[in-house]
């Protein structure tokens, strides 16, 4: 089977992707600087510790290995930090990606899968959000990802580089086998934050606003299980490698249904109650820039690549994440 380079393969999404690729019979090389990733999470690939800023290392990697394709998950991704330190985001997310694309071109590697984001859209003009929705990012993080999307169009025109950008909304859940999961510092994602409140790793969870124009007044988001997200990446890679797709393609990726903050809290409470746990909830004011509803329209990837979400029940997503949270808690104690 073909050899794939996974950049950022020791992080949350990347490590699950590496496991899926390995289980499907592909040989995987992981490039990760371990700034936010973990050495043990890259257990299914050959780990090379390094950074995309190191062009000498990139040249050596591409000389040593004959890669059929590259999957790129390495990015700085904290919206608030991107506003405070935009240079970090443009250097890491744009300049370093250019280093990777240039070495791919020099070595004739023509297939690229890029981890993009719903943050490229900015404030939604309508929901669910499809691929034709205007892209007007409101922070440097979203802007940096949109820049790469445009670069990929130009690299296809100039160099014949075929790519797929997957714009996803809220990645969540954990490996159903319990080997991998979400572990960020700081943690900013809703489900692990609530689970940490249940496990005792934090005191409470704060609901930021209950006066949004939604049924229960809390924000609605689209949550996609990490395994379903990775299966979409695998389908995109296969489509490129098999010559079924060409160009610089983009797909939105989500469950297509939204859950409110209160619904997520309720799902967590039901799951953790089986272990005798509860969740302390505190009230906070609205945060600037939080849209009331963000939900993906994923019809295009279903039609063109045949992707289907497997884990669509919120409780099942939470259950997998809770198993992972409990394992982390036992390790930390």
Query: What is the rounded CA–CA span in Å between residue 118 and residue 254?
Result: 10
141 is catalytic: yes
Cβ burial 261-277 (10 Å sphere, 16+ → b, else e): bbbbbbbbbebbeeeeb
Q: Where are the beta strands (DSSP E) in 105-209?
A: 111-117, 162-168, 170-172, 205-208
Quote the tokens at residue 288. Answer: 């600037």
Task: Return the bridge partners of 281, or none.
Answer: 205
Query: What is the rounded CA–CA span in Å between residue 44 and residue 42?
Result: 6
Query: Starting from the edge strand earliest in sequence, which strands make up the sheet with 3-7, in order?
Result: 46-49, 27-32, 3-7, 67-72, 111-117, 162-168, 248-253
Instruction: Compute CA distances 210 → 202, 282, 292, whole Å.
Output: 22, 11, 10
Catalytic residue among 12, 44, 89, 141: 141
Catalytic residues: 141
């Amino acid at each position: 089977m073909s050899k794939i380079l996974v950049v950022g393969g020791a992080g949350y999404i990347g490590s699950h992707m590496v496991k899926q690729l390995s289980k499907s019979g592909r040989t995987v090389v992981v490039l990760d600087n371990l700034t936010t990733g973990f050495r043990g999470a890259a257990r299914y690939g050959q780990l090379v510790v390094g950074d995309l800023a190191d062009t000498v290392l990139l040249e050596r990697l591409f000389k040593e290995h004959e890669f059929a394709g590259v999957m790129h998950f390495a990015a700085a991704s904290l919206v608030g930090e991107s506003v405070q330190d935009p240079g970090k985001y443009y250097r890491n997310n744009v300049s370093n990606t250019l280093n990777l694309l240039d070495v791919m071109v020099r070595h004739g590697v023509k297939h690229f899968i890029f981890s993009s984001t719903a943050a490229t859209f900015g404030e939604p003009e309508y929901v669910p959000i499809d691929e034709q929705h205007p892209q007007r990012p409101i922070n440097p993080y979203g802007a940096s990802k949109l820049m790469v999307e445009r670069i990929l169009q130009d690299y296809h025109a100039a160099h014949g580089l075929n790519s797929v950008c997957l714009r996803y909304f809220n990645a969540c859940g954990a490996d159903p086998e319990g080997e991998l999961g979400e572990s960020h510092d700081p943690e900013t994602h809703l489900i692990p934050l609530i689970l940490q409140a249940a496990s005792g790793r934090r005191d409470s969870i704060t609901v930021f606003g209950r006066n949004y124009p939604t049924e229960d007044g809390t924000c609605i988001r689209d949550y996609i299980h990490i395994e379903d997200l990775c299966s979409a990446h695998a389908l995109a890679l296969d489509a490129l490698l098999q010559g079924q797709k060409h160009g610089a393609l983009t797909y939105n990726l989500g469950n297509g249904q939204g859950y409110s903050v209160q619904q997520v809290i309720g799902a967590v409470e039901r799951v953790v109650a089986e272990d005798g746990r509860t969740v302390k909830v505190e009230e906070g004011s609205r945060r600037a820039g939080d849209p009331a509803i963000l939900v993906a329209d994923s019809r295009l990837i279903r039609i063109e690549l045949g992707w289907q979400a497997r884990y669509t029940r919120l409780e099942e997503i939470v259950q997998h994440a809770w198993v992972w949270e409990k394992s982390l808690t036992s390790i930390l104690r």
